[in-house]
Chain A
Amino acid sequence: MKFDTPAGTNPIDQGKVVGRPTPRIDGKFKTTGTAPYAYERHDVAPNQAYGYILGASIAKGTITSIDTAEAEAANGVIGIVSTLDHKPVPLGPMNTANLFGGGEVQHYHQAIAMVVAESFEQARAAAHLIRVDYARGEGSFDLKRAAPSAEPVEDSEKRQGDFEAAFGNAPVTLDATYTTPDESHAMMEPFATIAAWEGDKLTVWTSNQMIQWNKRDLAKALDMPIEKVRVDSPYIGGGFGAKLFLRADAVVAALGAKQVGRPVKLSMQRPLTFNNSTHRAATIQRIRFGAGEDGKLTAIAHESTSGNLPGGGPESAINQTELLYAGENRLTAMRLAILNLPEGNAMRAPGEASGLMALEIAMDEMAEKLGMDPVAFRKANDTQVDPMNPERPFSKRKMIECLDRGAREFGWERRNPQPGRNREGRWLVGHGMAVGFRNNLLMKSGARVRLSGDGIVTVETDMTDIGTGTYTILAQTAAEMMGLPIERIRVELGDSDYPISAGSGGQWGANNSTSGVYAACVKLREQVAQSLGFNSDEVEFADGQVRAGERSFPLGHAAAENDLTAEDSIEYGNLDKQFQQSTFAGHFVELAVDAYTGEAHLRRMLAVCEAGRILNPISARSQVIGAMTMGAGAALMEHLVVDKRFGFFVNHDLAGYEVPVHADIPHQEVIFLEETDPVSSPMKAKGVGELGLCGVSAAIANALYNATGARVRDYPITLDKYLDRLPAVA
Chain B
Amino acid sequence: MRPFTYERAGSPAEAAAAAIRMQGARFIAGGTNLIDLMKIEVETPAHLIDVNGLGLDSIEGTQDGGLRIGALVSNADLSADKRVRRDYGVLTRAIVAGASGQLRNKATTGGNLLQRTRCPYFYDTNQPCNKRKPGSGCGAIGGFSRQLGIVGVSDKCIATYPGDMAVALRVLDAKVETVKPDGTTRTIPIGEFHRLWGDTPHIETALETGELITAVILPPPLGGRHFYHKVRDRRSYAFALVSIAAVIQQDGSGRVAVGGIAPKPWRVPAADAALPDAAAAARALTAGATPTEDNRFKIALVERTLAGVLAEARGEGATS
Contact = CB atoms under 8 A, between A and B. Distances in A.
Contacts, number: 112
A426 B301 contact: no
Contacts of B237: 661
A124 B39 contact: yes
B284 interface: no
A723 interface: yes
A128 to B, nearest CB: 5
A596 interface: yes
A124 B120 CA distance: 20
A599 B231 contact: yes
Size class of the contact patch on chain A: 35 or more
Contacts of B278: 729-730
Contact of A601 (B40, B127, B231, B235): B235
A76 to B, nearest CB: 11
Given A425-B318, A597-B305, A662 B127 contact: no
Contacts of B317: 425-427
Given A661-B234, A719-B301, A723-B300, A596 B143 contact: no
A271 B311 contact: no
Nearest to A633: B234
A113 to B, nearest CB: 14
Contacts of B123: 271, 653, 656
Contacts of A418: none
Contact of B118 (A125, A594, A655): A655
A718 B233 contact: yes
Nearest to A644: B143
B268 interface: no
A613 interface: no
A530 interface: no
A662 B120 CA distance: 24
A148 to B, nearest CB: 22
A663 interface: yes
B146 A425 contact: no
Nearest to B40: A271
A664 B235 CA distance: 6
B236 A598 contact: no
A637 interface: yes
Given A128-B41, A729-B278, A597 B127 contact: no
- For the residues of B in contact with A, the DSSP-based class is loop
A661 B235 contact: yes
A211 to B, nearest CB: 33
A664 B41 CA distance: 33
Interface in B258-312: 278-279, 297, 300-301, 303-305, 307-308, 311-312
Interface string A642-656: 010110001111011
Contacts of B41: 128
A650 B120 contact: yes
A730 B40 contact: no
B234 A426 contact: no
A597 B238 contact: no
B120 A426 contact: no
A637 B241 CA distance: 13
Interface string A267-278: 000010000000
A636 interface: yes
Contact of A637 (B127, B234, B297, B307): B234
B233 A658 contact: yes
Contacts of B301: 597-598, 719-720, 723
Contacts of A537: none
Contacts of A597: 229, 231, 301, 304-305, 308
A125 B3 contact: yes
B3 A729 contact: no
Contacts of A660: 234
Contact of B124 (A641, A652, A663, A719): A652
Contacts of A57: 126
B1 interface: yes
Given A426-B308, A426-B316, A597-B305, A650 B143 contact: yes
A149 interface: no
A64 interface: no
Interface in B84-141: 118, 120-121, 123-124, 126-127, 139
A167 B87 CA distance: 66
A200 interface: no
Nearest to B244: A597
A75 B2 CA distance: 11
A334 to B, nearest CB: 28
A426 B317 CA distance: 5
A176 B185 CA distance: 65
Contacts of B40: 271
A121 interface: yes
Contacts of A645: 142-143
Contacts of B300: 723-724
A651 B119 CA distance: 9
Given A75-B3, A426-B316, A729-B304, A658 B234 contact: yes
A646 B137 CA distance: 14
B143 A663 contact: no
B30 to A, nearest CB: 17
Given A271-B40, A656-B120, A719-B231, A729 B144 contact: no
Contact of B233 (A121, A636, A652, A723): A636
Interface in A408-464: 425-427
A664 B234 contact: yes
Contact of A650 (B2, B144, B303): B144
A663 B3 contact: no
Interface in A585-636: 594, 596-599, 601, 636
Nearest to A729: B307
Nearest to A726: B304
Contacts of B316: 425-426
B144 A641 contact: yes
A427 B120 CA distance: 33
Contacts of A719: 231, 233, 241, 297, 301
B298 to A, nearest CB: 8
A664 B238 CA distance: 12
A614 to B, nearest CB: 31
A594 B311 CA distance: 12
B307 A661 contact: no
A240 to B, nearest CB: 19
Nearest to A722: B297
A598 B304 contact: yes
A726 B304 CA distance: 10
B233 to A, nearest CB: 5
Contacts of A594: 308
Interface in A675-721: 716, 718-720
Contacts of B124: 271, 650, 652
Which of B127, B144, B311 counts the most chain A CB atoms within 10 A? B144
B83 to A, nearest CB: 28
Contacts of A58: 126
Contact of A125 (B2, B127, B143): B2
A124 B121 CA distance: 20
Given A425-B318, A645-B142, A729-B278, 19 more contacts: A57-B126, A58-B126, A121-B1, A125-B2, A426-B316, A597-B305, A597-B308, A598-B301, A599-B231, A636-B234, A643-B144, A656-B123, A662-B236, A664-B234, A664-B236, A723-B301, A724-B300, A729-B303, A730-B307
29 contacts: A57-B126, A426-B317, A426-B318, A596-B305, A596-B307, A597-B229, A598-B304, A601-B235, A641-B146, A643-B139, A646-B139, A650-B124, A650-B143, A652-B124, A656-B123, A659-B234, A660-B234, A661-B237, A662-B236, A663-B234, A663-B235, A664-B234, A719-B241, A723-B300, A723-B304, A724-B300, A726-B304, A729-B304, A730-B279
Interface of B: 1-3, 39-41, 118, 120-121, 123-124, 126-127, 139, 142-144, 146, 229, 231, 233-238, 241, 278-279, 297, 300-301, 303-305, 307-308, 311-312, 316-319
What are the 8 A-B residue pairs with the smallest beta carbon separation, nearest first?
A: A596-B308, A425-B317, A426-B317, A57-B126, A720-B297, A663-B235, A729-B307, A650-B144
